[in-house]
Structure 1
Amino acid sequence: MYTLDTLPFKNCFAQLPAHFYARVAPTPLENARLLSFNAAAAQLIQLDPAEAQNPNLVAYFNGERAWQGTQPVSMLYAGHQFGSYVPQLGDGRAMILGETQGWELQLKGSGPTPFSRGSDGRAVIRSTVREYLCSEAMHGLGIPTTRALCMLISDEEVYRERIEQAALLVRMAPSHLRFGSFEVFFHRRQYAQLTELADFLLAQHFPELQHQPEPYLALLEAVVKRTARLMAQWQCVGFAHGVMNTDNMSILGLTLDYGPYGFLDVYEPGFISNHSDHEGRYAFDQQPSIGLWNLNALAHAFLPLLADDPDEAVEKARSALWQYQPEFDQAWLNGMRAKLGLQAEFAADQALIAELLTNMQQNLVDYTIFFRRLASLSRQPQNTDTKVRDLFLERTAFESWVEHYRQRLAQEDSLDAQRHTQMRQVNPAYILRNYMAQQAIEQAERGDAREVERLLKLLQQPFTEQVGMERYADHPPAWADSISLSCSS
């Protein structure tokens, strides 16, 4: 295990030419202090969790003390924001310190950069707590995501929709490259830089594709498939990312940039997690198609890499994009079958799932609670059926569906005990509901880390029912409906 002083750093991205980034330095926060340290994330980089007590930890991450081996840079990228192309964005409040053990360490909220566009370069406690907890919650659910090592809070005041306290997140990812990292060079017609970045990505993260007959096409196909599977996983767990701009789409297929987001409470396909999204572009049920829309923007940026002839390049890009829908459909169907405890594949499964989701929508059924309770349903009617039936306002609809479901279980001679165990391994007891994050935020703003720590531990094991945590597996309180999230969340 390493200490902070012995942690070995390099920065492969910083070895690229300067047109890919800006060299920066953190601007220290006022009276910064550690709120929470994630020992599980520390293990990924072989950092001794006892280093949370090291007095130099805050100084290193806050930029008060020089850290040997680090080379802070902020990345350049562009992106389509709510469907409109913005020619230059970049890390306006983030900087990569370097990488260690295959993970980039990035400061988020570390002060202004050349890409800040006049902003202060800060994050606030509200947004930092939300990302800190949700990235770990997503990992606990088995969904590809960035991770969070620790978060600092401070006395520094910044203005968002109100005066708030500044905070800093230490984020981790194998790479922070985005779709927009490639778009910027395509739209600038800087094809040499575009090629250089693609070669870097292949060498660092897709070495198995380097010797393919058409490595750039193989790379695009890999990103298409990873993104399709990620969108399916979001849908299966009921997660809505509120700002699916191309600059927030990871080239590695990770869940990236937790701004406004939300897990479904009641099953509402048109759920919008971001009150800034007035048109519902990123509503829950629109996200699979937006995933493809974003990939189309990426494929457009890849055209110069695919062929010298424009028509040939377009055909190759289309061939890659055509793989999205089958990949998504299969991943989603497999995920939903697993949630229902179905092992075999039958043609009627899709109709069974559609019937269920329609009934859940019409009856305002809680998405997470329903599937968790369904994991206790037996093939033969039992008195305990009421635990699931009581979630439906219209009991007849449930009775009709559950009869079809039991018939389907009989088709594969499903064993109750085995199925119940398997279903509990894919249907979480706990998700990060907005009210839970809000309670943690309010305590953190008072300097109290107890709820953050409690939720961090809970959400890292979402499939295991934990003693004393029953309230977190229950319906959200009525006041949760009043929580409103925007792009500053």
Structure 2
Amino acid sequence: MSSTDGKQSDQIQLNLKHSFAEQLSDMAAFITPAKLPNPEWLVTSPEVAELLELPDSVFTDSQYLDWFSGNATLSNAKPLAQKYTGHQFGHYNPDLGDGRGLLLGELQTSSGHWDIHVKGAGQTPFSRFGDGRAVLRSSVREFLASEALFYLGIPTSRALGVFKTSEAIQRETTEQGAVLIRICQSHIRFGHFEYAFYQNNTELLETLVEYTHSHVLQLATDVHLTIQDKTLAMYKAVIRSTAELVAKWQAFGFCHGVMNTDNMSILSITFDFGPYGFLDEFDSKHICNHSDHSGRYAFDEQPGVALWNLNALGHALSPLLTKDQLSECLSQFEPTLVKAYSALMRQKLGLTQNDKGDQVLLGEWLTLLQQDKRDYTNSWRLLSNFDGNDDVFIDHFIDREAASKWLAKYKRRLLIEKDDTQTRLQKMRAVNPKYILRNYLAQQAIKTAEAGDNSELERLFEVLKMPFDEQPEFEQYAQTPPDWSKDLSISCSS
């Protein structure tokens, strides 16, 4: 079959489901995908293909790529764009939805239920003034970020792969066209509930809650449960899992960059990657999004913004829950976040015994990193290798006296630990990565890929699959970023 004839292909055997289309059609626009010219795989994830239980030929059989690129259709596919709204930088925007993405269908596998989503598939009724396309730069960034977070153990959407097209796409400059195949167990977001609420459509809101409760979150069900019971259970679950997600962001130094409510997953996974970034020099007020002029989504603001967004979700659920129920649920966010974050940071410090001074010890460590502008990831990894050699540790800092004082406190604290040194260090290295997705590394991979060389992209992807391993042959990927990396500008258009 030609890749441009648009014929139907039933040689691809996929048992697609369409629960969203069937149960929430009022929030869907059924779309014929645009035909994207000359698709060619750029980077792929065999691990995700295995997760989806796709055949080994998925990346070599042109029929799959034809389907992903809109050049072939499946008789059992129902491509659709989802409608939602949301608060963007704190302001409600009713004109949101999948403006360049399509849900091709849903797969049920032994590992669960998975949405197959194409990002960059062309215009939809929700594109507003956009072209519905994606570019190689942003597609590669999302591919790398989603996979890097997964291997760090942070809940996230995944990526099957990125393919490029022969289209030239106009952004700030003319760029290479590309498409991301994203998967996750659901694309339901806070903004879906806001859409139903602001439409004053309680029936739709109830249907959405029923769908999310049973199908997405798969919460315990009972014939005696009322819609209020289900809404309450759902809201509690989302608050808990959102707090735990943000705790991991803060522990690993990840900045999302654009935490609008339409980018908040009801599954509490990281998705809709744009101007994200991991911390290089530790700065608690770091702003990774150059479009965020007020610093609303700065690193240390992320927990507060998550709570703000959960308040917005609660407001959307207010027709189904009482004010007291909403307040009680929201009151659990902070203690859940603190408990999860504290547990992670104690692991990073190598502490297993309880001590009332641990919070102070952590605070002084972070203050030391910030005042000396030390690299966040590399400093934690250095601590994970501390075997008693004070000089190696102290030489890492500018303020040697402050570093020496903190180290002395840390060594005294370690005396109450039961693990021997090597056991402790082994545990610390399992939670303090050596390799993270730094913006400059992503940029280097993008530049070479744009020039037609995928080797750096593939190599970086392999490194990120084993972030906690030493990988001495890839030592350069763990080095402190070069000075020129500070000039990289990442905005919402990225």
TM-score by length of 1: 0.95
Alpha-carbon separation, structure 2, partners of 1:466 and 1:363 = 28
Aligned-pair CA distance for 1:4: 7.8
The residue type equivalent to 1:266 in the other structure is E
Aligned-pair CA distance for 1:451: 1.4
Matched, 1:105 2:116: yes
Matched, 1:272 2:287: yes
Q: SS in structure 1 opposite 2:161?
A: strand
Q: How many residues align?
A: 477
Q: 1:133 aligns with which of 118, 122, 144?
A: 144
Matched, 1:204 2:215: yes
Matched, 1:331 2:340: yes
**Per-residue CA distance 1:340-381 (angstroms, 9 max, x = gap):** 111122221111100110111001111000111111113xx3
**Alignment match, 2:238:** 223
Matched, 1:416 2:421: yes
The residue type equivalent to 1:355 in the other structure is E
Identify which range, 83-92 or 410-419, moves more after superposition: 410-419
The question of whether the paired residues in 2 share the 8 Å contact of 1:88 and 1:184 is answered with no
Q: Unaligned regions of 5+ residues in structure 2, if any?
A: 1-9
The residue type equivalent to 2:189 in the other structure is R
Matched, 1:350 2:350: no
Q: Unaligned regions of 5+ residues in structure 1, if any?
A: 307-312
Q: 2:465 aligns with which of 460, 463, 474?
A: 460
Alpha-carbon separation, structure 2, partners of 1:471 and 1:387 = 19
**Alignment match, 1:31:** 38
Alpha-carbon separation, structure 2, partners of 1:467 and 1:64 = 44
Alpha-carbon separation, structure 2, partners of 1:203 and 1:50 = 34
Alpha-carbon separation, structure 2, partners of 1:110 and 1:327 = 39
Matched, 1:236 2:243: no
**Per-residue CA distance 1:420-441 (angstroms, 9 max, x = gap):** 1101110101000000000111
**Alignment match, 2:163:** 152
Aligned-pair CA distance for 1:188: 1.4
**Alignment match, 2:317:** 302
**Alignment match, 2:451:** 446
The question of whether the paired residues in 2 share the 8 Å contact of 1:158 and 1:166 is answered with yes
**Alignment match, 1:401:** 406
**Alignment match, 1:183:** 194
Aligned-pair CA distance for 1:17: 4.3
**Alignment match, 1:372:** 381
Instruction: Map 1:424-439; keep pairs closer than 5 Å.
Output: 424-439=429-444
The residue type equivalent to 1:139 in the other structure is F
**Per-residue CA distance 1:303-359 (angstroms, 9 max, x = gap):** 1122xxxxxx11110111000000000010001001011112222111110011011
The residue type equivalent to 2:268 in the other structure is G
**Per-residue CA distance 1:123-159 (angstroms, 9 max, x = gap):** 1111000000010000000000000001111121122
Q: 1:256 aligns with which of 266, 271, 279?
A: 271
Q: 2:59 aligns with which of 41, 52, 65?
A: 52
Matched, 1:314 2:323: yes
The residue type equivalent to 1:373 in the other structure is L
**Alignment match, 1:309:** none
Aligned-pair CA distance for 1:7: 2.6
Compared CA separation, residues 229 and 393, structure 1 to 2 (3 A): same
Alpha-carbon separation, structure 1, partners of 2:220 and 2:316 = 19
TM-score by length of 2: 0.94
Q: Runs of 4 or more off by more than 4 Å in structure 1?
A: none
Aligned-pair CA distance for 1:179: 0.4
The question of whether the paired residues in 2 share the 8 Å contact of 1:274 and 1:486 is answered with yes
The question of whether the paired residues in 1 share the 8 Å contact of 2:209 and 2:230 is answered with no
Alpha-carbon separation, structure 1, partners of 2:459 and 2:299 = 28
Alpha-carbon separation, structure 1, partners of 2:264 and 2:492 = 16
The question of whether the paired residues in 2 share the 8 Å contact of 1:75 and 1:91 is answered with yes
**Per-residue CA distance 1:154-205 (angstroms, 9 max, x = gap):** 1211221111111100000000110001001111111110000010011112
The question of whether the paired residues in 2 share the 8 Å contact of 1:4 and 1:47 is answered with no
Q: SS in structure 2 opposite 1:257?
A: coil
RMSD: 1.4
